[in-house]
Amino acid sequence: MRSPRPYSPQAGPGAQSLTERRKAATQLDIARAACELFAEHGPDGTTAEDIAHRAGVALRTFYRYFRNKQEAVAPLLASGGDAWRALLAEEDPGTPLAEALDRAVSRSLSDLQSIEEGLEVTRGLLRAAATDEALRGVWYRVNQDSEERLVPVIARLAGPDADPVHIRLLAAAATDAIRIALELWSTTDAPASGPGSPAELALRCLRELTRGMTVVSGG
């Protein structure tokens, strides 16, 4: 997933208000603090009070946005889905879906240093999630949310005649391709770019999972 940009509630129509932008910025500050502390001390060695102190907010402010310390990382984990959906949404309707998906996945997981830094943070969080059930729950929920928000993006590209079942299946496959790639990569010491990177693994997973899908092949 992309650089540490964060989770925000599902956006409604129109631009965010100043209050909403301030809320999102505070959530991001807390998320960064949580990720730093989890990397330094692990989830068991970190408290909500520690995270609030590192973020420079009151504990009541922390609990205004998050139910527990694990939930605080959701902004960071959700940022990748936000980024790659935005890239996919830039594609013109009618663009072959295989090309559009490959391009968006590759762009969202490679090239810029800020992306690589975000990926390293994600790797640390996924390693911590291996022994923390609550943190795994946040990871799975963020991916489920991303899949649901991907459906209208794919539907727009596929056109009004596309089968809704095929659209849902493709949204699930694309989301799982990135999820699986990141989970596999996090268990290794492979670099954030090049052989064995999330971008390479995600493209491989995407092609395997979508092989034979008529909405992708045009069949």
Give the distance from CA 49 to its chain's centroid. Answer: 26
Which are the contacts of 191, defined by CB distance < 8 A and separation ≥ 6?
A: 197
Query: Burial letters for 20-29: b for 16+ Cβ neighbours within 10 Å, e otherwise?
Result: eeebbebbbb
Percent of the chain with pLDDT over 70: 90
Distance, CA of 132 to CA of 32 (rounded, Å): 18
Position 81 pLDDT exceeds 90 = no
Position 172 pLDDT exceeds 60 = yes
Q: How many residues does the chain have?
A: 219
90 band by pLDDT with thresholds 50, 70 and 90: very high
Q: What angle do CA 70, 186, 216 make, to 5 degrees?
A: 100
Q: Residue 165 has what pLDDT? A: 96
Give the distance from CA 48 to its chain's centroid. Answer: 23
- Tokens representing 147? 């899949």
Percent of the chain with pLDDT over 90: 63
Helix spans in 109-163 (H): 113-129, 133-158
What integer is the mean pLDDT of 153-168? Answer: 94
Structure confidence by residue, pLDDT tens digits, 99-151 = 999 999 999 998 666 677 788 888 989 999 988 999 999 999 999 999 999 99
Q: Residue 188 has what pLDDT? A: 95
pTM: 0.85
Position 214 pLDDT exceeds 90 = no
